[in-house]
Amino acid sequence: MATLFDKIWDAHVVHDLGDDWALLHIDRQLLHDLSGPHSLQALLDRGLKPADVDLVFATADHAVSSAPGRTGMTYPPGGRLWTALKGLAADAGVRLFDLGEDGQGIVHVMGPELGLVLPGLTLICGDSHTCTNGALGALAFGVGSTEGVHALATSTLRLRRPKQMRVKLEGRLGRGVTAKDVILQTIGILGTAAGTEHAIEFAGSAVEAMSIEARLTLCNLSVELGARSGIVAPDETTFAYIEGRPFAPRGAEFERAVDHWRRLYSDADARFDQDVALDVSDFGPTVTWGVSPEHALPIEGRTPDPESTPDPGQRGAIQAALDYMGLQPGQPIAGAKVDRVFIGSCANSRISDLREAAAIAKGHKVAATVTAWVVPGSLAVKRQAEAEGLDEVFRSAGFEWREPGCSMCVAANGEQVAPGARAVSTSNRNFVGRQGPGARTHLASPAMAAAAAITGEIFDVRRL
């Protein structure tokens, strides 16, 4: 009676250290420009090289500019990190997918699309949203700098086995509802601490019906539930997505791999420390109102009234969030005026996300008061979108079409929302200052973001 997590964890234990601790083998390690240079430098300073350099991959995404025609030095502070990553990757023999090269992109977008992420693997990266990759049935999680260096040197990590939580999402999604709406509402219902010290498995009929790209969005926000990892059992949808990708097994090797992957699921009698079921049939388009992903509302909703909350601490936190966001208690969230729209990030920058946004943008114009950007998640996504004419749809509507990277999600590249400005963003965090000092961020789906750009306000996409 094993869970999916159990099966992957147990297959990777190099040594049982007791008291739920184990030395775990790490199959893949991804590096990016924000944390990768530090890890590689620390490794090389010790006179070491990666234990298995063929399983380590790097890309530039966090700190580089996304401006049209950019180079690595367009944003000089990011350029220093880009230069360091290039040089250190070469010194260590690590494969780098550099700017303008096939494979470059946001680290959690390019990994799956290249076939670097496979069911049953353990995968790490120095980024908390590494949990995204669990959508393919991998045990994927973010690590700190010290852990990253240890894994580079040994292909192992000392880890404590977490508790386990299953979130079953049942029912059919309504019109205008996407995986982003589902995970935001789920976080709003369960709270950002629900998955603390847990690994989460997403299951249920709604998850089974999702595409891999939708599942990637779902797992991307696992960490916003407090969990370090999120995972979905691989199925026929997974196998079809993987087949033919550059680093995926081929031919008879692929068939053998699929035979193994079919056994990666939670047994019917498997037990979880937490088991939650939600019916998504009544979920609607969703947007956040405050400074945490759990501050999520259906588009018809109103901001909370602190005075209706009995707990003084909670009352103060709600009022502080409203003050920061420039909103009033009990205010309808629809209709709030918008200054910026950002469509991108590892949560929502894949080709399906851009198609959803373009379908709303087509035939419309961005409101005169709004600056709107579309930032593809990888060079492959950018090329595919341009082949389909999506870039022209966005440009004609008044969106700026930019180069692949993290861009305004993390604001580590000079691309920020101005203080006090209100942004609708398809990213995954709306923390205070996340998109720049004083920036007011509302999280939403690509379709909802496009609707906000066109109308100049937070708007129900179903009305378009």
Q: What was the pLDDT predicted at 378? A: 98
As a whole number of angstroms, the distance between CA 183 and CA 342 comes to 19
Q: What was the pLDDT predicted at 205? A: 98
What DSSP assignment string belongs to 181-228? Answer: HHHHHHHHHH-TTTTTTEEEEEESHHHHTS-HHHHHHHHHGGGGGT-S
Q: What's the alpha-carbon Rg for the chain, to the nearest Å?
A: 21
- Calculate mean pLDDT across residues 433-461: 98
As a whole number of angstroms, the distance between CA 363 and CA 272 comes to 49
Q: What was the pLDDT predicted at 458? A: 98
Helices marked H in 262-375: 312-325, 351-361
As a whole number of angstroms, the distance between CA 76 and CA 158 comes to 37
Any idea where the domains of the chain sit in the sequence? 4-261, 286-463
Q: What was the pLDDT predicted at 56? A: 98
Query: 26 to each of 58, 89, 245, how far by Cα in Å?
Result: 16, 19, 21
Confidence of residue 9 (pLDDT cuts 50, 70, 90): very high
More confident residue, 313 or 153: 153
Confidence of residue 54 (pLDDT cuts 50, 70, 90): very high
As a whole number of angstroms, the distance between CA 65 and CA 63 comes to 7
Spatial contact of 415 and 408, defined as CB atoms under 8 Å apart? yes
Q: What was the pLDDT predicted at 301? A: 98
As a whole number of angstroms, the distance between CA 375 and CA 356 comes to 14
Q: Does domain 4-261 have CATH number 3.30.499.10?
A: yes
Q: What is the pLDDT of residues 202-248, one digit of tens each?
A: 999 999 999 999 999 999 999 999 999 999 999 999 999 999 999 99
At 108 the three-state DSSP class reads helix
Whole-number percent of the chain with pLDDT over 70: 100
As a whole number of angstroms, the distance between CA 313 and CA 454 comes to 38
- Calculate mean pLDDT across residues 106-121: 98
Confidence of residue 392 (pLDDT cuts 50, 70, 90): very high
pTM check: above 0.85 = yes
Tokens found for residue 48: 């070491």
For Cα atoms 161, 197, 221, give the angle at the middle one, nearest 5 degrees.
Answer: 115
Fold matches, 4-261 and 286-463: yes
Which residues are within 8 A (CB) of 114 and not within 5 positions of it... i.e. 6 or more apart? 103, 245, 246, 247
Torsion sign over Cα 114, 120, 124, 128 = positive
Superfamily per CATH, domain 286-463: Aconitase, domain 3 (3.30.499.10)
Spatial contact of 278 and 308, defined as CB atoms under 8 Å apart? no
Q: What was the pLDDT predicted at 302? A: 98
Confidence of residue 76 (pLDDT cuts 50, 70, 90): very high
